[in-house]
Amino acid sequence: MDLVAIYAIDILGAIAILALLSVGLAVVFGMMKIINLAHGEFMMLGGYVAILATNQWGVPIWISMMVLAPLIVGVFGVLVEHLLVRHLYGRMIDTMLATWGLSLAVIGLATMVFGNTTVGISSPLGGITIGARQASGYTLFLIALAAGVMVALWCLLRFTDFGLRARACMQNAAMANALGMNPNGVYKMTFGLGAALSGLAGAVLAPLTGVIPTIGAAYIAKAFITVISGGSAVIAGTVSASGFFGAISQGVTFLATPVYGQVALLLAAIVLIRLLPQGITGRFFKRAI
């Protein structure tokens, strides 16, 4: 019985991690149709903010991870939108290329500043005993956080003024403009929101993997696969895709090794995209947010 609980926690944990590292990208891609190849670097910066703030500036870890990191990376995101992305609207491929250049530049800069070694931070939560077994308290935290973020985001998009405007601009920017909304301002905030979410993810994942300038590469492949497989609905897509892939990857990891878990994720993604080229929410849950 406790073994089932452990397995359940591990699977939900894998799903939660996948959801967290994808949601920032999903916001930017789902709402602005922009492919931000610097997503991994936003996460990396979030990780560094969390670690520096905690280890060097004495900020309590929960604040560095959940407040400072998203805030600082969010502001950085707004800056990036203003200086770079804004000039390339409508040019999807050029946006991809420019954000890829940004990714390289940021990694280079981070390497110059932080060096090439991994810095770590200890997990703020210990283990939890379930029956005869130990589960990671931090995993439970991540599960709760992922759920919380999804709910909060859904409420933001569904119930607030900003959410309505963001969804309007996403559907039809010209019409939104005609109605007096400023799509540029909305896009800035949306991109900033996506960046903040990525920063948050990078920060909360730092205790698991440590941070190094190149850590973005580990996340970006999975994030993109999840977002594209999810389809255009931001939340429904992220939740359904991470649920699907997280379960498969963790399931295979149980049966074999993490390496095979990764392969299984890739194969599942290939099959899914072949069958549902518009992603999961291209076919199911079409009207969802």
Q: Which two tokens stand for residue 277?
A: 């080229």
Is residue 200 part of the contact set for another protein (CB under 8 A)? no
The beta-strand segments (E) located in 17-159 are 127-130, 133-136
Q: How many CB atoms lie within 10 A of CB 256?
A: 12
Which neighbouring-strand residues pair with 130?
133
Fill in the amino acid letter for 55.
N
Helix, strand, coil abundance in the chain, percent, nearest 5: 80, 5, 20
Give the one residue of 131, 148, 185, 258 binding another protein; rule: CB under 8 A.
258
For another protein, the binding residues in 6-45 under the rule CB under 8 A are 35, 37
Q: How many CB atoms lie within 10 A of CB 151?
A: 11
Stretch that binds another protein, among 3-11, 54-62, 140-148, 209-217 (CB under 8 A): 209-217
Is residue 112 part of the contact set for another protein (CB under 8 A)? yes
Q: How many CB atoms lie within 10 A of CB 63?
A: 13
What minimum distance in Å lies between the beta carbon of 40 and another protein? 8
Task: Please tell me the distance from the alpha carbon of residue 282 to that of residue 276, in angstroms, as a whole number.
Answer: 7
Is residue 256 part of the contact set for another protein (CB under 8 A)? no
If the CB atoms of residues 53 and 220 are measured against another protein, the closer one turns out to be 220
Give the one residue of 62, 144, 259, 283 binding another protein; rule: CB under 8 A.
259
Give the one residue of 86, 87, 158, 283 binding another protein; rule: CB under 8 A.
87
The residues of the shown chain that bind another protein, judged by CB under 8 A, are 35, 37, 84, 87-88, 92-94, 96-98, 100-109, 111-112, 214, 216-218, 220-221, 224-225, 228, 258-259, 262-263, 266, 269-270, 273-274, 277
